[in-house]
Chain A
Amino acid sequence: MFLDLLRGTKARFAIVRLSKSLMCADRPRCDGLRRSDRFARSMRLLPLAALPAAALPSGSALALPSFAIQTGQPCAACHIGAFGPQLTPYGRDFKLHGYTANDGKDHGLPLAFTAQTSFTHTQEPQPGGAAPGFKPNDNFAIDQLSIYYAGQIAPKVGGFIELNYDGVAQQALLNNVDIRYASEGEVFGQDVLWGVTANNNPTVQDPWNSTPAWGFPYNQSPLAPTPNASTLIDGGLGQRVAGVGAYSLWNDLLYLEGDVYKGLTAPALTALGQVPDEGSQTNDFLPYARVALLKDWNNTGHHLELGAYGISGNVVPGNGQTLGFNVHKTDLAIDATYQFITDPAKVTSDRLSAHATYIHETSQLASEGLALTGALPDHWLDTMRVDVSYSFAATVTPSVQYFRTVGTADVNYWSTPNGSPNSDGMIFEVAYVPWGKPDSPFPNMNVRLAVQYFNYFSFDGSYADASRNNSFYFSLWTAVRF
């Protein structure tokens, strides 16, 4: 079946390229185009501009077998449900120590390969096709093929580098990157772990799954509609910036981090597989800050994190949203993670975990853009997510999430029918992972089968039509170490 899918996808290649070029030709230009014209066009394109998730930065990463081989640990030691990216306390520790912990043996280069294949059914067919080259409904797809360098690079230096082939957009790209140096010392008589990170996606370096880059859902359909509005830190800068930062964890209690990001130029974005106009661009420096308080009750298996994070800077939103004018955005967020491990001595013990985040974004449109766009000068956008999962024996993991985005309604700012950015709904998922445990027969390989259901209560400001965007997503995720 996998080979059939691959052959089918390759056969679509020429059609997809042609369709993409037509879409680009029809995309509103920023120069001199009045907002009303742009809006009329965007309405025509709404079925496509409903932003299939393929247009969003990918968040894939998982229980990489290269990490498992390097440490001699099964996937379940680092990941809730024996498959990433949801981290256990040890998984967070491994990441904060720069992906360098190891069993002392030479395992060669830490390379891994993953493949995601899927079937998507939406409640209503999507006119014109779910994506270029795909049917309006009931599509099989190769979501992603990925190669990773994931593990130790040198003593105290490690990295996670993902090269992606997006099977829906038919595009190779550099996905998430996080390269670290980590060391230890003492401050005020207590242990301090500190490090330096170079990465390309704000929050990809974060060890908690309550921040956007590694938050639930851990994969989702690239062919189902997704809401139009999202905050800048919620994937808006993923793979479109480069940043460096420093972090510290003092006394296993206080986590502090500061980073600075710089937007990549259009030629650089193109070279790395991104489409410059399809997402936020910036020439600005964007400061990012993170603070968290944590407490591990190791004996009883309870783990708690309470934190805050934020980013600020000038960006030009993608898809001509503001006709190329700058918007100054500031995102401030709070988050929490709770985990309960029923038996800390067994990586296959049942595990309860819960995450929550609330992001508040304020935006100021550049004054010179007000007349041309007709948009309001100030907007706000809030996103909230809460999810809970329970992993049975690191094998079957049901999860549920409530998500909600609300903000300033403005028909000249949001490409939604009534100008409202509001959406909310729930996600239900059950994942099955047969391997990745201490007694698993294939330490170099793991698979994850999952079924996921998106249920929208409102979608892009509409309650009446929200349910047409509901979707079922069946996915098979395979991870192999070379």
Chain B
Amino acid sequence: MPIRFAIAVAILLGLAAAAAAAATITVVQKGLALDRSSVSLAKGDRITFTNDDDVIHNIHIFGPGGDDNVDLGLQRPGKNLSYKFDANGTYRVRCNIHPSVKMSVIVR
């Protein structure tokens, strides 16, 4: 009985942990454009940005606070950049090199 109980608790805890684990989505950057204009995430989720073009890109994330922003730097062809969204609010993502490469991220 104690063994069965322990196994059940472990399974439940595993399921709960899995449910709470942060998600990672991929946003494709190709043809000097992102493949979506906006996305909704849960707090703690992560986005991986690809660069499927043959020129250098950049990912610059402007947080919901207005003043807070993170420049992930230059992104060479084939390289991925990743960012974890830790606060609720609306973020703006853009490429400093290509002004029309942009999207919004809503974190709830």
Q: Which of A14-22, A49-57, A68-76, A227-235 contacts its partner? A: A68-76
CB distance from A210 to the nearest CB of B (A): 20
Q: Does A451 contact B (CB under 8 A)?
A: no
CB distance from B64 to the nearest CB of A (A): 16
Q: Does A101 contact B (CB under 8 A)?
A: yes
Q: Does A348 contact B (CB under 8 A)?
A: yes
Q: Give the CA-CA distance A126 to B71 in the complex, in Å.
A: 61
**Chain B positions 21-56 with a Cβ under 8 Å from a chain A Cβ:** 30-33, 52-56
CB distance from A379 to the nearest CB of B (A): 43
Q: Give the CA-CA distance A363 to B97 in the complex, in Å.
A: 45
* Total contacts A-B at CB 8 Å: 61
Which listed residue, A74, A94, A344, touches B30 by the CB 8 Å rule? A344
Question: Assuming the A-B contacts A103-B56, A348-B54, are A299 and B97 also in contact, with contact meaning beta carbons closer than 8 angstroms in the complex?
Answer: no
* A89 proximity list for chain B (CB < 8 A): 32
Q: Closest chain B residue to A182 by CB distance?
A: B99
Question: Assuming the A-B contacts A90-B98, A345-B52, are A103 and B74 also in contact, with contact meaning beta carbons closer than 8 angstroms in the complex?
Answer: yes
Question: Assuming the A-B contacts A102-B97, A103-B96, A104-B71, are A73 and B30 also in contact, with contact meaning beta carbons closer than 8 angstroms in the complex?
Answer: no
Where chain A touches its partner, the secondary structure class is loop
Q: Please determine whether A103 and B58 come into contact, CB atoms closer than 8 angstroms.
A: yes
Q: Give the CA-CA distance A407 to B7 in the complex, in Å.
A: 94
Q: Does B69 contact A (CB under 8 A)?
A: no
CB distance from A343 to the nearest CB of B (A): 8
Question: Assuming the A-B contacts A77-B55, A347-B55, are A101 and B31 also in contact, with contact meaning beta carbons closer than 8 angstroms in the complex?
Answer: no
Q: Closest chain A residue to B99 by CB distance?
A: A97
Q: Please determine whether B54 and A438 come into contact, CB atoms closer than 8 angstroms.
A: yes
Q: Please determine whether A101 and B98 come into contact, CB atoms closer than 8 angstroms.
A: yes
Q: Does A287 contact B (CB under 8 A)?
A: no
Q: Give the CA-CA distance A94 to B32 in the complex, in Å.
A: 12
Nearest 6 pairs between A and B by C-beta?
A344-B31, A97-B99, A72-B56, A298-B33, A345-B30, A93-B100
Binding site for A on B (CB under 8 A): 30-33, 52-56, 58, 71, 73-74, 77, 96-100
Further pairs besides A71-B97, A74-B55, A93-B98: 13, Cβ < 8 Å? A72-B55, A90-B32, A93-B99, A94-B99, A101-B97, A101-B99, A104-B58, A104-B71, A104-B96, A298-B31, A345-B54, A346-B54, A438-B77
